[in-house]
Amino acid sequence: MLSIGNSTPQTLFLTGVPGLEDFHIWFSIPFCCLCMVALLGNSTILYVVITDSSLHEPMYCFISMLSATDMGITISSVPTTLGVLWFNARIISLDACIMQMFFLHGFTLMESSVLLAMAFDRFVAICNPLRYTMILTNSRIIKAAVVIFVRMLVNLMPLLLLLKRLSFCGPNVLSHSYCYHPDVIKCSCSSIKVNSICGLVALILTSGIDIPCIFLSYVLIIKSILSIASPEERQKAFGTCISHIGVVAIFYIPWVILALVHRFGHNAPPYVHTLMSNLHFLFPPVLNPIIYSVKTKQIRKAFLKLFPNTE
């Protein structure tokens, strides 16, 4: 085991599965399998959306954005996690930690914005279908992508810059195999009041806005669907939203629980933090391609085109 008493002020220590360090190599097997599924599934969706002209529509553009953010989340967390599980490489510098947080939290914030954009896409498609192509033009989709990126920078950069003012003089042991902002600031021996407030403000300005807006959009969507006379048309309209509802639930529920555990679950067992962090950062990239390939007919057809001999 590494000694954690000789850490420098700018050094942090990552953690694998607390209490089960001897089994890290075995935990790495399902972790690697899930990462491969996530990368393969999301890269395949990106490929079919880019190469299949029939998928060059707003809905599939947003799905490809979602796949890109999922790949970013997976790639951001894999190096340090595998380093801990395979080589017990727990030491990470503060600068490297901040860099990892930029990508990990950045892609997470952008995914939240993409889910909001996808909810707006479904709202326009169902509630105002005649103007759908007029409202969601290619130029507006590009502008939306730029806004999503800028929004991420505005919310994330103050949090990361404020970390540089903190002093780290304790054992500096993190709760995860990667750097997570609430986890990092708890290791500081300086006052973290400003950091905590900024973190809460960033959470409110992202998920605190996105979740109510997504909920409101689906209230209006359901109201519009219920006004459709034909049962078949109602079922078809609702079917186009099922995938997105599932993706939203998979993404936000673990995120909210993880944030609550870090802020209020100080007495929770260490494995609770590990479980929730893995659920949040690993399950959405794994499950999202599966959901869209199963529930979206056009993407499923595009997948099958890659295997022409498949019946």
CA distances from 118 to 122, 129, 293 (A): 6, 15, 16
**Which pLDDT score is estimated for 169?**
84
Separation CA 104–CA 97 (nearest Å): 10
**Which pLDDT score is estimated for 5?**
43
**Which pLDDT score is estimated for 310?**
53
**Which pLDDT score is estimated for 253?**
87
Residue 16 is given by DSSP the state S
**pTM score above 0.95:** no
The residue type found at 87 is: F
Residue 13 is given by DSSP the state E
Token readout for 37 is 């599924």
**Which pLDDT score is estimated for 41?**
95
Q: What is the pLDDT of residues 177-212, one digit of tens each?
A: 999 898 899 899 889 999 999 999 998 999 899 999
**Which pLDDT score is estimated for 7?**
45
**Which pLDDT score is estimated for 4?**
44
Residue 105: exposed, middle, or buried by beta-carbon count in 10 A (0-12, 13-18, 19+)? buried
Spans of the chain below 50 pLDDT = 1-8
Domain coordinates in residue numbering, the chain:
13-288
Residues 138, 290, 29: CA angle, nearest 5 degrees: 125
Q: Please, are residues 114 and 288 in contact by the beta-carbon 8 Å criterion?
A: no
CATH placement of domain 13-288: 1.20.1070.10
**Which pLDDT score is estimated for 3?**
40
**Which pLDDT score is estimated for 1?**
38
